Structures are given as C-alpha cells and as structure tokens.
Homo-oligomer: A and B are copies of this chain.
Amino acid sequence: MIEIGRGKRALPVYSFDNIAIVPSRRTRGIEEVNLAWRIDALTFDYPIIAAPMDSIMSPQTAIAVGKLGGLGVLNLEGLWTRYPDPEPVLSELAGITDQVAATKYMQRVYAEPVKAALIEQRLDEIRQSGVPVAGSLSPANCVEFGQVVEKAGVDFFVIRGSMVSAEHVSTVAEPLNLKEFIYNLDVPVLVGGCASYLSALHLMRTGAAGVLVGFGGGSTARAVGVLGIEVPMASALADVTDARREYLDESGGRYVQVIADGGLETSGDIAKAIAIGADAVMVGTPLARAFEAPGRGWHWGAEAWNPTLPRGERVHFEQIGSLEEVLLGPSATPDGTMNLVGALRKALAATGYSDIKEFQRVDVVVRQ
C-alpha cells in the first residue's frame, strides 16, 4: 500500500505500457503452438472475440470473424437493431469530422428505440451463415429484451456495460437479478465489465461462463477524465485471475473464463493480457482498422452517445487491411496491428510455451 498522505492509502496499479513479457530459457517452432480456445461446448481457433461495438460488428462482419475461426458478438442495442438499414446513418456519421457535432449526432440517432423484431432478424442473419451466434445487451436492457434474445436463439449471450456489478441498487427501477437471469438462460453468458477481485468474484457466483475484465470502450473511453474512475488493465486482470482461482475452489471446480475487454490495441497487448492470466480477449480497436469495419475507420463505444454525459469519443484509425489480414496476416507493418493471431502464436513460440493455459505462467517484468 502507498500512503498518498496521512489520511488515505492506495494500491499501486499497472497498465500494459508498464509491463513486458520475458522469454524463458526455451524457444519453440511456431508449429508447436496451439492457440485453441475452448469455452463451454465450443472451440475456437484462437482466443480473440470481436467486441459488440457498432463501429466494428455488423451482422456481416460478425459472420466474417466467425468464418475466420474467431467469435464475433453483435451489439443487440446498437444501430443494427434500431434501424432496418443503418448504413445511411453510419455513412453520415463518418462524414462528420467535428467531434462535438459527432457526439450530438450520435446522441440523436441512438435515441431511436431498439426493436425486438430487428434483434430477431439480425441474429437470424448470423445463424444462416452457420457460424456461432453471439449477441450482447447492457444490463438495463436485459429485462426488456432478454427473452427476445433467448427465443431468437444464440450460442453465446453477452451482458456488457461500462461497470456491471452483481449488486445493482435502485429503488425506482427493478434491477436485473443477474443470477436468476443467467440461470434461466440455457446458453453460456459472458458478463462484465468488472475490474476488481471482489466484483469479479460476485459476478462469477452468478453462474456466468466468463467475466469481462475492464470497462469496455478501451481506447475510445474517457471515464477517467469524466468520472475519475480507472483500473489499468494489467492490474485488473491480475486481480480477477485470483478471483478465478478462489471461485474454482469455492465452487468445487467451476472454471470461469477471464476475458480482457478494453484497451487492447496491438497484438503485443493481446499477448500481455494472456501472459497476466486472461483466457481470451475481446478486442475493438484492432478490428476498427479493417477495410470491412462498419465505422469506416471511426471507432466508438456506447459511452460515446450517452444523452447527458458522454464518457467516450469517436477515435479515427487508418484502415490498413482486410479483416483476414488483420486477424491472420500476412502483415506488412511492424506495429502490432496486423496478423494478430500469427503474432500471438509467435509470442508463445519465442518464449517457449505451447498453449494459452501454459502461457499464463510466463514471466513478466515491470519497466521502470
């Protein structure tokens, strides 16, 4: 504990920028590395999930990610379920360069209500393609649309908010009973974001298959400036992996997936997340750079269109390659933005590890 002054103590925390992975005494050929990620009954080629953000996930890109061996999650309260055809909205938004004007435009277009029928239609579009179907809602919308989603059918259900707790207190609205809600669903649920040992442990006790660590939005979020709230990802992950260990013991063997969600910008960040103990990562920024990204180079999270208190902003990225190149390569740039999967495989090979679970034990150092 650090003493900030006589009356307040604080824990030191670390971000990915502070840490680096250290090779062991062994190296491996990349052919020796297995990146497979298994959750519940499904197995994916690699532990990378595309985040439910309108700027990167449309039904089409969710399908594309699935066909490339990963998992794409559609935001079921985004533009695709508010508008029968959101493309004109996305196109107009991409043309607005002034940030305040863009925020106001988003506040306006996201005021359009979510439609149950569109939720069903979008999930159906994905299912037709044959890839695993996954959609997300925020806790506030689960009560209203949860059953719609269940009825439409998904392989994964994601409950995702900027800060999600197992104990939401409200006297005006009946809060979502996460435990009951998850129990009643017959599909695996990923829930978050959370960022501490205790809040993660409580989320694990709801029966979730995985917890999302981080406050979402990542490189587009500005919560620390607006709310003063922040838990750097490296420390948040290190805390939550310990909650996974604790819950494994108290539950007599239920292993809850720890998924880093937010602020993973490069393949190096992805490797660091797993090195600290994550089982998988949920990414936004890297996919916002793909040619196919619906955001047309702009990237934003739900924080960006809060009607009275936006806590995120659109960020612009250069579109550098196809979704396939971004995920599977080949890369022609050494900045960690392309060939995410190849880079992760090489990170394990170069440090002598052969699978994700083993790699969680690799040594890391803190750069001073």
| Chain A 346-362 interface mask (CB, 8 Å, partner B; 1/0) | 11001110000000000
Find A230's partner among B20, B26, B244, B310 (CB 8 Å cutoff).
B20
Q: Is there an interface contact between B4 and A276, defined as CB atoms closer than 8 Å?
A: yes
Task: Report if A13 contacts B (CB, 8 A).
Answer: yes
A364-B231 Cα distance, complex, nearest whole Å: 9
- Choose among B103, B199, B268, B311 the residue that contacts A224 (Cβ–Cβ < 8 A): B268
Contact in complex: B165, A21 (CB < 8 Å): no
Partner of A334, one of B4, B270, B311, B334: B311
Contact yes or no, A347 B229, CB < 8 A: yes
Question: Closest 4 CB pairs between A and B?
Answer: A5-B238, A29-B170, A228-B271, A6-B242
Q: Does A69 contact B (CB under 8 A)?
A: no
User: Which residues of B have CB within 8 Å of A352?
Assistant: 165, 167, 169
Given A365-B10, A366-B4, residue A228 in contact with residue B333 (CB < 8 A): no
Binds B, one of A50-58, A142-150, A290-298, A324-332: A324-332
Contacts from A to B (Cβ < 8 Å): 2-8, 10-16, 18-29, 31-32, 99-100, 103-104, 107, 162-173, 175, 194-199, 201-202, 222-232, 234-245, 266-272, 275-277, 303-304, 307-313, 329-336, 339, 342-343, 346-347, 350-352, 363-368
Residues of chain B lying within 8 A (CB to CB) of residue A27 = 163-165, 167-169
For residue A10, which residues in chain B have a CB less than 8 angstroms away from its CB?
Answer: 19, 363-366
CB distance from A302 to the nearest CB of B (A): 12
> Which of B4, B32, B335 is in CB contact (< 8 Å) with A169?
B32
CB-based nearest B residue for A351: B229
Q: Which residues of B contact A202 (CB under 8 A)?
A: 25
Give the residues in chain B near A199, CB-CB below 8 Å: 23-25
Q: A interface, by DSSP: helix, strand, loop or mixed?
A: mixed
The distance from the CB of A27 to the nearest CB of chain B, in whole angstroms, is 4
List residues of chain B with CB within 8 A of the CB of A227. 21, 267-268, 271, 343, 346-347, 350
- Measured between alpha carbons, how far is A29 from B231 in the docked complex, in Å? 21
Most buried by B among A10, A171, A244, A339: A10
Bound Cα distance from A24 to B195, whole angstroms:
9
Contact B7 A308 (CB under 8 A): no
Q: A165-B352, A229-B23 are in contact. Are A332 and B104 (CB under 8 A)?
A: yes
Contacts of A170 in B (CB 8 A): 28-29, 31-32
Would you give 15 A-B contacts (Cβ < 8 Å), ordered by A? A10-B19, A12-B365, A13-B20, A21-B227, A21-B230, A24-B199, A32-B171, A100-B333, A103-B333, A163-B351, A225-B335, A225-B336, A226-B343, A228-B275, A230-B367
- The answer to whether A5 and B235 touch (CB under 8 A), given A228-B21, A228-B275, A309-B331, is yes
Q: Please give me the residue from chain B that is nearest to A321 by CB atom.
A: B100
Q: A348: shortest Cβ distance to chain B, in Å?
A: 9
A110 CB → nearest B CB, Å: 13
Closest to A244 in B: B7
* Chain B hits for A275, CB < 8 A: 228
**For residue A270, which residues in chain B have a CB less than 8 angstroms away from its CB?**
228
